[in-house]
Amino acid sequence: MKFIGALAATLVAFPAYAAPALMPLPVSVVPNGTDVLRIEGPLKADWQGCGDAAVLDRAATRLGSDIQRQTGLIFDPAKPVAVRSTCRSSQDGADRGEAYRLTVENEGVSIDADGPTGVLRAYASLRQLAGLSPAGIAIAHQTITDAPRFAWRGVMLDPARHFISVATLKRQIDAMERLKFNTLHLHLSDDQGFRVESLRYPKLNADGEYYRQSEIRDLVAYAADRGIRIVPEFDVPGHSRAIVTAYPEVGTFSKTMFLGQPEVALNPASEKTYRFLERLFGEMAPLFPDPHFHIGGDEVSKAVWADAEDVKALMARENLADSKAVEAFFLRRAAGIVRRLGKTVIGWEEVSGAGLPKDSIVQSWQTSNAMADATAKGHRTIMSAGYYLNLLMPADYHYGIDPAATAAAGLTPEHAKALRGISPLLANFVTDALVDFPHAPLSAEQEKLLIGAEAPLWGEIATDELIDHHLWPRAAALAERFWSPASVTDKADMYRRLAVASAQLTVSGLDDKANRQRIAARIAPGDNGAVAGLLAITGPVRNMAHDHRIKAMLAGRRIVQPLNALADTAPVDSLVARRFADEATRYVAGERALGAPLRAQLGDWQVNEARFGAIAAGNPLLEPARPTAALIAAVATAGLDALDALEQGRLLSAAQVQKANELLARLEKEEAASWRPFDSFLRPQPAADLIVKIGPGIRTLVEAAAK
């Protein structure tokens, strides 16, 4: 924790508005005296031994214009600032060369990087050091020494479920560069669509929602410029309804029905399937120069092949005992095709026992146990269990899960047991694969095989316009979890820096807050301020509780769920509610000047009920949230009562305390209703699928005024 102290020391040299907030936190930040480097003119970048100058030239131009945009300053051409980089190697090499040392001194900034990507990572730190201040840039003299904990640090996006435009992907790549991510994994095919133009199999693109091959090439180059690889995933043999619908001759349809339709998968018994994959993967692989190629392999239905005569014949011929063995047979063939294309195979954790080549990479997604098992089998492994951003858990939940912990993500055994006791149907769903049992720590050998982690954002309830705010700022906290030393675990400090990183992302062009405003204006053209006020302190219910299609399917119906509700728009982490809680804590601790802003904030929340009610009448997107607005007003009133008592040096009455505690208990119950998977489907959810986030701050005031 030495470097946190060092960082804090650099902070005191700055006025609050300019305080830099590095994220991911570097390995070490050492202040050097009390002087600062002022940046008043354009950056004058040069480099030695760093390979392709054009890439770094573009990176330096980007850095300069980003800093101007962050600060709003006009640079004086007569006052250039030198940014000198030296690379140990002109190539990144297998470890990607991302380590760097950055020194800020009177003469300018100097960077020593392992490879060219290390220069990009140093630029990302410099971008954050320059801050957001319109009052001028003054960077404290210091030396940052930094290297990633994990070589693989990714985000996974899912254009298969809802198509994502190239422009939206590029915005995420821009943000990823700022947070030092290096991998964008795209889930490009699933039941809902196949998203890359295929000239060989054009029926795959019949729905019109796909990337042209030229767009893929452009996107790959755009990401590579920012030190980010794009890894494509084409999911087989399951999650393949789009392929099988277009080319039924390579599929198997179950005779049994599941949720009103036959199940489908690729047909493992037909040579046609493998010829199809040879041609399809043969067309896709060269579009993505990265050496990795993801074949999915997850969630293959046990029933889909059960009644197929040709699969039964295959099982007899190849001596395959069950559907798992059939799946493994298929995966080995598919992996062979990928290897002949010169690529390394990646598959989800289900491929772990399939006998794939030893150099295949396993991506664990259900439990930490699965990561431990895959590394024990000798596979390089990417950890994604615990990092599913589509579950809409707060940043600190994900941040608290270490990628190398062997029992940190997944259902607890106790929770699984309780769920199984509820009904046989549920017991069927809650398999051991979802349960994280106590487990020995990784051996040194296993630790080496854990190459990194990825945060997936599955797209069932994320349209193009919702991507920015579902992904950010939470992904920034995970960028830190994947880059910074394992000892960096202070959640309060993470949130403090996350607020700054989030503001920088917005200033730099991320659409998270702008989108929210646009959506609020669309929902409530008359007074989007009332909607914005409500959205600032609420968040969506978690663990797919807002995915109403699941409940409908379980009830035997299919629905298309519109994704234009307040719960689609509300931020998962309310930084406004966090700031309020922080100010309440400081007020109670004696910072009495905070009484006025706290009172103003509480008053706004209180009056917003009437304002919201006035526009909600007759508006089907707003009506469901009237109880939410009323609850917020009631809780704010309890907070104002507590503030009155504290200001007047008296205690709340017993009746006031009881009322406040009832309201706060209700908020906690509503929060808990979707905190754990499965519970989220079983328990009643709050009005409009919205959780009110101001409870902790109000509780601080009430408790102080009650004793």
- Near ligand ACM in 492-551, by CB under 6 A: none
Asked if 209 touches ligand ACM (CB under 6 A), the answer is no
Q: Are 661 and 703 in contact (CB under 8 A)?
A: no
Question: Based on CB atoms, which residue is closest to ligand ACM, 294 or 469?
Answer: 294
152, 453 in Cβ contact below 8 A?
Answer: yes
| Residue-level length of the chain | 707
**Cβ-based nearer residue to ligand ACM, 299 or 447:** 299
Between 433 and 687, name the residue whose CB sits nearer to ligand ACM: 433
Report d(CA 166, CA 219) in Å as an integer: 7
Name which of 388 and 495 has its Cβ closer to ligand ACM: 388
CB of 197 to ligand ACM, least distance (A): 25
Is the CB of residue 621 less than 8 Å from the CB of residue 566?
A: yes
Nearest-approach distance from CB 361 to ligand ACM, in angstroms = 14
Least Å distance, CB 245 to ligand ACM, is 20
Question: Is the Cβ of residue 299 or residue 647 nearer to ligand ACM in the bound state?
Answer: 299
Rounded to a whole number of angstroms, the minimum distance from the CB of residue 247 to ligand ACM is: 23
Indicate the residue among 391 and 645 with the shorter CB distance to ligand ACM: 391
**What is the rounded CA–CA span in Å between residue 308 and residue 666?**
52
| Cβ neighbours of residue 418 closer than 8 Å, sequence gap 6 or more | none
Strands 251-258 and 344-348: unpaired
The rounded distance, in Å, linking the Cα atoms of 289 and 169 is 18
**Cβ 298 to ligand ACM shortest distance, Å:** 4
DSSP structural state of residue 20: -
Query: Closest separation between CB of residue 294 and ligand ACM, Å?
Result: 10
Binding mask 294-333 for ligand ACM (x = CB under 6 A): ----xx----------------------------------
Q: Could you say whether residue 365 binds ligand ACM (CB under 6 A)?
A: yes
Distance CA 244, CA 546 (A): 29
Taking the complex as a whole, the smallest distance from the CB of residue 456 to ligand ACM amounts, in Å, to 7
| Using rule CB under 6 A, residue 399 touches ligand ACM | no
Q: What count of other Cβ atoms lies within 10 Å of the Cβ of residue 696?
A: 17
* Closer CB to ligand ACM, 351 or 642, in the complex: 351
Question: Residue 214: exposed, middle, or buried by beta-carbon count in 10 A (0-12, 13-18, 19+)?
Answer: exposed
Strand 538-540 versus strand 183-190 pairing type: unpaired
Burial of 53 (0-12, 13-18, 19+ CB in 10 A): exposed
Cis previous bond, 24, omega within 30? yes
User: What does the H/E/C string look like for 199-261?
Assistant: CCCHHHHCCCCCECHHHHHHHHHHHHHCCCEEEEEEEECCCCHHHHHHCHHHEEEEEEEECCE
Least distance (Å) from ligand ACM to the CB of residue 240? 13
Cβ neighbors of 315 (< 8 A, separation 6 or more) are 321, 325, 326
Are 264 and 252 in contact, with CB atoms under 8 Å apart? yes
Nearer to ligand ACM, 298 or 464 (CB): 298
The tokens describing 489, both together, are 């675990």
Return the closest-CA partner of residue 566 out of 522, 605, 602: 522
Per-residue tokens: 605: 């929340």
Nearer to ligand ACM, 108 or 353 (CB): 353
Residue 458 beta carbon to ligand ACM: minimum distance, rounded to whole angstroms: 6
39, 106 Cβ separation under 8 angstroms: no
Kindly tell me which of 385 and 667 has the beta carbon lying closer to ligand ACM. 385
Q: Can you tell me the distance from the alpha carbon of 126 to that of 59, in angstroms, rounded to the nearest whole number? A: 12
- Nearest approach in angstroms of CB 350 to ligand ACM is 8
In which residue are the tokens 């059939």 written? 326
Q: How far is the CB of 299 from ligand ACM (least distance, A)?
A: 5
Q: Which residue number, 161 or 699, has a Cβ lying nearer to ligand ACM?
A: 161
Q: How far is the CB of 101 from ligand ACM (least distance, A)?
A: 38
- Number of amino acids touching ligand ACM (CB under 6 A): 4
Residue 416's φ and ψ, nearest 5 degrees, are: -60, -40
Q: CB 549 → ligand ACM: shortest distance, Å?
A: 16
Residue nearest to ligand ACM (CB): 298
Report which secondary-structure segment, H or E, holds 364: strand 361-364
- Tell me whether residue 368 or residue 504 sits nearer to ligand ACM (CB atom): 368
Sheet containing 43-48: order of strands: 28-39, 137-146, 100-105, 108-113, 81-87, 43-48
What is the smallest separation between the CB atom of 494 and ligand ACM, expressed in angstroms? Answer: 26
Our CB check for ligand ACM shows the closer of 211 and 348 to be: 348
Residues 338-357 that bind ligand ACM (CB under 6 A): 348
Q: How near is the Cβ of 346 to ligand ACM at its closest, in Å?
A: 11
The smaller minimum CB distance to ligand ACM, of residues 6 and 160, is found at: 160
Closest to ligand ACM by CB, 365 vs 397, is: 365
Cα–Cα distance measured from residue 626 to residue 614, given in angstroms and rounded to the nearest whole number: 10
User: String of b and e for 299-311 (b: at least 16 CB within 10 Å)?
Assistant: ebbeebbeebeeb
Instruction: Give the binding site for ligand ACM (CB under 6 A).
Output: 298-299, 348, 365
